[in-house]
Amino acid sequence: MALDIIFSGVKGTLEFDQFISDDEVIRCKFSEDHSLVIDLNCPLKLDSRFNPNRFETVLLRKKNLVENDIFQVIKKPNDDRLGWCFPIQALCSIEHSFSDDENFLRFAYIAVRHILENLEQDYSETPDISGSENLYFSDFFPDDTAIWVTSLGADHEPKNFELVDWIPSLFGYGYAHVIGSERQAIVHEGINPEGGNLNLFSVSSDVQNLNFINNVFSNLLPYEKNPLLIFFYQYQIIELFIGQVFEDEQTFLIQKLIAAAQDSIETKKVLKKISDLTSEAKRIKLLFNDYVDYGLDRNPLLVACNNYLVSMGHDAETLMQESLYLVRNRIFHRYLDIPSGNDQLLEDICISFNHLLVQLATKYKKKAITP
């Protein structure tokens, strides 16, 4: 990606030339006339010691983003630093808390180079100038735009960064991947980072259909306002996981059925289990009982679902998965019977459901199944 401008009626592209620290500018040439110099104001004392080719840069969006939302990105659970995430506005000011931070200034330089030279997303505005205006990077992007600069390691190491692995965890903090030129307002807010870091967990290596998950977390959930549609999108992720559970359990049971070919009693037991597996309620129980690694925080969603059910005369459930399934049935099959005024209770479910889905995507663990 490059930044386009319209200069005196002529549209062209800014081409990086040099950073002039004393003048606090990024000097660029105009693609349509290389004799023309155009400066971007950058008051930071950028540090150019890092090789831009050993970094990946991604544009993100976040609701209510402010200039000081500058975070180190930490890979959990091993605490490796993946890079920095910060608003585009942070490149245009020294009023934030990191204007003198040496590590931040190195990553800010990479951001500048990538924005001008090889950031892939086409999301920028095109300012129309006559030549006398003061230009900043913030003139090219909406105020809710952030940039994540991540290190790819040393020069001799292979590039192994896959954005799709981090989409759910980023969504948990309220960040959505910028795709194309989409500019509709973000609704989802996410949780607040603790300790000045974005602590990201990669999607579990056992999760399939990452492109589908990426689409839901990047294109649908961040922008949807209607809680009914939000719940529908959220439950599609559950459908994905219980589909995987069905395939794994079915493979195991077929193996057992073959092994029990000469044992009529055992054959009947296995056939009963295969029949039970067709029940969605059974598959949801299997998902949350047998396929989730430790540490899944179920209580907020349990409380939210029970509040919704009790408001309609149901008894509260003790297990989150059972409470969620009852809510699912009411919404999908008996929505016309739901009394008006329950929207806030459904919104509460959606908020807790988001947090649980982020955890599910990172903690899902395929069960070791042996006949």
Q: Is residue 35 part of a domain?
A: no
Which of 218, 235, 255 finishes a domain? 218
Same domain, 156 and 243: no
Same domain, 56 and 189: yes
Same domain, 187 and 234: no
Predicted confidence band at 157 (pLDDT cuts at 50, 70, 90)? low
Residue 350 reports pLDDT greater than 80: yes
Q: pLDDT tens across 160-219, in order?
A: 788 999 999 999 999 999 876 666 889 999 999 988 899 999 999 999 888 899 999 999
Q: Is residue 309 part of a domain?
A: yes
pLDDT in the model for residue 297? 93
Q: pLDDT tens across 71-92, in order?
A: 999 999 999 999 999 999 999 9
Which of 218, 241, 257 finishes a domain? 218
Predicted confidence band at 121 (pLDDT cuts at 50, 70, 90)? low
β-pairing, 4-7 vs 33-41, is unpaired
Return the percentage of the chain with pLDDT > 70, whole number: 92
Torsion, Cα of 152, 157, 159, 164 (10° steps) = -70
Helix axes 227-259, 264-277, angle to 10 degrees: 170
Whether omega before 77 lies within 30 degrees of 0, making that bond cis, reads: yes
Closest CA to 87 of 39, 141, 48: 141
Q: Is residue 32 part of a domain?
A: no
Q: Is residue 74 part of a domain?
A: yes
Same domain, 305 and 334: yes
Residue 255 reports pLDDT greater than 80: no
Same domain, 299 and 177: no
Q: Provide φ and ψ at 201, rounded to 5°.
A: -110, 135
Determine the residue type at 246.
F
Q: pLDDT tens across 204-237, in order?
A: 999 988 889 999 999 999 999 999 999 999 999 9
Q: Is residue 371 part of a domain?
A: no
Contact indicator for 219, 179 with CB cutoff of 8 Å = yes
Separation of alpha carbons 69 and 85, rounded Å: 8
Q: pLDDT tens across 98-116, in order?
A: 999 999 999 999 999 999 9
How many domains, the chain? 2
Same domain, 134 and 67: yes
pLDDT in the model for residue 357? 97
CA 53 vs. chain centroid, Å, equals 24
pLDDT in the model for residue 321? 94
Q: Provide φ and ψ at 228, rounded to 5°.
A: -65, -45
Same domain, 100 and 211: yes
3-state DSSP assignment of residue 280: helix
Domain that holds residue 182: 46-218
Same domain, 335 and 272: yes
Return the percentage of the chain with pLDDT > 90, whole number: 56
Predicted confidence band at 1 (pLDDT cuts at 50, 70, 90)? low
Which of 218, 239, 271 finishes a domain? 218
Same domain, 300 and 214: no
Closest CA to 247 of 274, 267, 213: 274
Same domain, 175 and 321: no
pLDDT in the model for residue 369? 62
Mean pLDDT in residue range 130-142: 85
pLDDT in the model for residue 300? 96
Separation of alpha carbons 349 and 366, rounded Å: 27
